């Protein structure tokens, strides 16, 4: 399989008709990690969400393993959702559920034959791995943003995805917790996962990325192996793209 995800001439406008993405075409290689960078408001997160099938483009198509995501039947779409996991920039945890219920939900959907005890064991395994050791019977509003990120990443890992979409997933975290999550992503890389992430942190980009896609003004400004972009752009170039060195 040459590409695991392909965006073909993607356009996207917001509810007010403002053009956010214009003519974006990207091919993501399986078992590789792609960093999506660019200036603030340029469309990075929108491209990531469209790549994950969370937003429907106004024009163009998204393909997963050669299948048009918009035309998938229910079974194939459910498999795509199980194989892929998204960590949102704002964590996107359900406000009216406690943390255990939030983490239990994807297991109920994708593994309906799991027993309650098996779900508890899996949740305990993952939260321990990410370093969250507090009570799970509380609402997200009681947590710091960094703690919410740990729960959001835990939720993403529960079904052992082979495809990860990470939107500024280390932002608002202390250095120790952020390093732990970077190491966990590195572990997923070693297991052959395909990873797409948005970040402004050059340290993370250098550490994890195989390829870098630059999105500016809703278009692909550059799509290249990491080493080429790191070697060819200046400090001012990266500062214009909101990347912190």
**In CATH, what number is assigned to the domain containing residue 182?**
3.40.50.300
Q: In which domain, by residue range, is 169 found?
A: 5-240
Considering the domain boundaries, does residue 194 fall inside one? yes
Q: What percent of the chain has pLDDT over 70?
A: 99
User: Would you say residue 245 lies in a domain?
Assistant: no
Cα separations in angstroms, 160 against 90, 111, 154, 207: 22, 12, 10, 22
Given a cut of 70, whether residue 245 has pLDDT beyond it is no
* pLDDT of amino acid 171: 87
Average of pLDDT values for 227-237? 78
Closest CA to 205 of 183, 230, 188: 230
* Tokens read off for 77: 């779409």
- Interval 185-203 mean pLDDT: 94
Residue 51 lies in a domain: yes
197 is a domain residue = yes
The model's pLDDT over 2-23, given as tens digits with 9 standing for 90+, comes to 899 999 999 999 888 889 999 9
Cβ atoms of 26 and 232 within 8 Å: the answer is: no
pTM for the model stands at 0.92
83-134 pLDDT per residue, tens: 999 999 989 999 999 999 999 999 999 999 999 999 999 999 999 999 999 9
Which 3 state secondary structure label does DSSP give 24? strand
Number of domains in the chain: 1
In 3D space, the residue among 68, 56, 109, 60 whose CA is nearest the CA of residue 85 turns out to be: 109
Give me the phi and psi of 178, to 5 degrees please: -60, -45
Reference 12, options 42, 55, 70; nearest CA is 55
The answer as to whether 145 is a domain residue is yes
Return the pLDDT at 244. Answer: 72
């Amino acid at each position: 399989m040459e590409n695991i995800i392909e965006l073909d001439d993607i356009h996207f406008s917001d509810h007010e008709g403002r053009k956010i993405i214009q003519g974006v075409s990207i091919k993501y290689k399986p078992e590789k990690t792609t960093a999506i960078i660019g200036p603030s408001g340029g469309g990075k997160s929108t491209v990531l969400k469209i790549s994950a099938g969370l937003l429907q483009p106004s024009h163009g198509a998204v393909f997963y393993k050669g299948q048009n995501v918009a035309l998938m039947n229910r079974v194939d779409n459910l498999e795509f959702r199980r194989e892929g996991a998204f960590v949102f920039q704002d964590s996107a945890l359900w406000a009216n559920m406690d943390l255990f219920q939030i983490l239990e939900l994807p297991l109920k959907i994708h593994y309906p034959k799991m027993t309650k005890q098996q779900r508890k064991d899996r949740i305990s395994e993952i939260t321990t791995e990410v370093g969250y050791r507090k009570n799970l019977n509380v609402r997200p509003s009681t947590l710091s943003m960094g703690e919410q990120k740990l729960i959001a990443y835990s939720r993403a890992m529960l079904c052992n995805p082979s495809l990860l979409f990470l939107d500024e997933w280390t932002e608002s975290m202390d250095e120790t917790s952020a390093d732990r999550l970077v190491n966990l992503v590195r572990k997923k890389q070693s297991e052959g996962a395909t990873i797409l992430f948005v970040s402004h942190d050059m340290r993370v980009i250098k550490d994890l990325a195989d390829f870098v896609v630059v999105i500016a003004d809703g278009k692909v400004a550059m799509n290249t192996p990491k080493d080429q972009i790191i070697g060819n752009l200046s400090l001012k170039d990266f500062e214009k793209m909101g990347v912190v060195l």
